[in-house]
Amino acid sequence: MEGLYLNKELNRIEKLAREKAKQDKCLLCGKKMSSYCNSHSIPRYILKNISEQGFVNDLSLILEMPNTKKKLGTKEAGTFNNICSDCDQKWFKDYEEPDKLLDENLSDKLLAEIALKNVSQMIYKRHYEKELYKLYSEDFPDDMLKLVVSWKNWDIRDYKQRLEIYKRIIENDEKGSFNIIYKKVLPYQTKIAAQSAIAINDYNNRQINDVFSEKELTDIQIMHICVFPLKSETLLLLFYHKADKKYRDIMHDFNSHSDEYKIDMFNYFVFANIENFYFSPAIGSIFIENDKLKYLCMEQYQLPILNKEYSIYNMEDYTPIEYNEIPNVLNIK
């Protein structure tokens, strides 16, 4: 009974945080919203490609979260609520078309649409996280809560600045705005889909971002990563806006390596850096049974490992997982 009560209480708090995270105006056009569009952070047609009987799994299966659904329908998976229906249909036309994702030369407009969806989802996520922390405020010291809320507000401010840049690229069909670090079309449909903005902390022992900086004007630079399983192929894509210059060295280093290294490192980037990925229930056992893959997914949260041999809270007792220690889920057909 105690566990059931806890689950209900967690669900109540998270539902309240989602409601509080909704803004009264559309993020993209500024019009007042009477109802909220369920915008998909990964196109629904892509999620359908990996679903089983209309359902997919997400990170909660790996983290063994007690208050979450074991499976999600593709209608609800990865949705967020800060864009009106008109804008959801207007701003993302190109990348909602599978054929355009397979163009040999992806347009800057299409890349900007992906980037715009990513930062829109991130803005909603930061609002949600901020409200969640406030609802759990009695569990945190006042100074810590104040810092966390400040982090979220700084992120929201910075993402909104990027949002305007990406909108301008789409509206004006600007050219030469992005650099593609990695683009590969696999000749089969993967069992996983992913899409997100990521801000990596370091690469090959070189610091890229100080993601835990307590300074308001810290320059956090981002990339965009996608795994798009289509009908019989899968697009892997990693790119950045040219203003995010810290990723130039990564682009040069990444492309100096073998194809095997690139796809293994890409696989690592997905699980080390993002929450917004979904996978077919057919491969759920890989995530449950492979401890190192599970631990890697937990690293970004610094969650305590369920296996008491390790504790990510005490980093002296925990060795971070390397890219070559986990199975490459992208190789599973």
Element (H, E) at 178: strand 178-186
Instruction: Taking residues 127-137, report their average pLDDT.
Output: 86
Q: What is the pLDDT of residue 1?
A: 39
Split at pLDDT 50, 70, 90, the class of 44 is very high
* Banded model confidence at residue 4, pLDDT cuts 50, 70, 90: very low
pTM over 0.85: yes
Q: Which pair of structure tokens corresponds to residue 71?
A: 């499976």
Q: What CA–CA distance (Å, rounded) separates 324 from 211?
A: 24
Q: How far apart are CA 246 and CA 273, in angstroms?
A: 17
pLDDT of residue 33: 86
Q: For all residues of the chain together, what is the average pLDDT?
A: 87
Say whether pLDDT at 264 is over 60.
Answer: yes
Over residues 281-301, the pLDDT tens digits come to 999 999 888 989 988 888 876
Residue 90, pLDDT > 60, answer yes
pLDDT band at 238 (very low <50, low <70, confident <90, very high): very high
- Tokens 């997400």 correspond to what residue? 58
CA-CA distances (angstroms) from residue 201 to 20, 148, 196, 212, 312?
A: 30, 18, 16, 9, 17
Higher pLDDT, 37 or 202: 37
Query: Around 300, how many Cα atoms within 13 Å sit in the side-chain half-sphere?
Result: 20
Band of pLDDT at residue 66, cut at 50, 70 and 90: low
Q: What is the pLDDT of residue 208?
A: 79
